Amino acid sequence: MAKWLLALWLAAAQAWASDAAVVVGAALPETGLLADLARDMKRALVLWQETRNAAGGLLGRRVELVILADRSEAGAAGRLYTQLMENERADLLIGPFGSAASVGAAAAAERARRVLVNATGVTRNVHRAGTRFVFQVPAPL
């Protein structure tokens, strides 16, 4: 829990100086083999955004959720997460659905020194590289 709060604080601190929304980005499969499994993750992120904004946002700023579709293609994760950071100006990243996609997303986040909260990609390969900006949040059993 403390790592999750630290990750949110770090991401929000990057955008603290302006009144713009805190942009939270993720790439999820809306089509393809993993779409049915990831549907609830998208619903949870939208619910979190609505709940946070109803409670005053994050550090007093509105939360804007940007979700890109990865079509269940793990190889697209690195490119999509780079797009989230560069084009969408994401302050905080939520990991993609699945271990294979998480490896690419984590690499992109590390290169950009951007916090990525990873909940569904449980592979150890993400952390073997000595990541500093990727936080693993285990899903409840």
pLDDT digits (tens, 9 = 90+) for 26-72: 999 999 998 998 899 999 999 999 999 999 999 899 999 999 999 99
State the pLDDT at residue 98: 85
Q: How confident is the model at residue 13 (pLDDT cuts 50, 70, 90)?
A: low
The CA distance from 49 to 57, in Å, is: 8
DSSP character at residue 19: S
The alpha carbon dihedral of 36, 108, 80, 84 has a sign of positive
Helix (H) or strand (E) holding 11: helix 2-14
State the pLDDT at residue 119: 80
> Is 90 exceeded by the pLDDT of residue 131?
no
Mean pLDDT of 77-95: 96
User: Are the C-beta atoms of residues 77 and 108 closer than 8 Å to each other?
Assistant: yes
> Is 80 exceeded by the pLDDT of residue 94?
yes
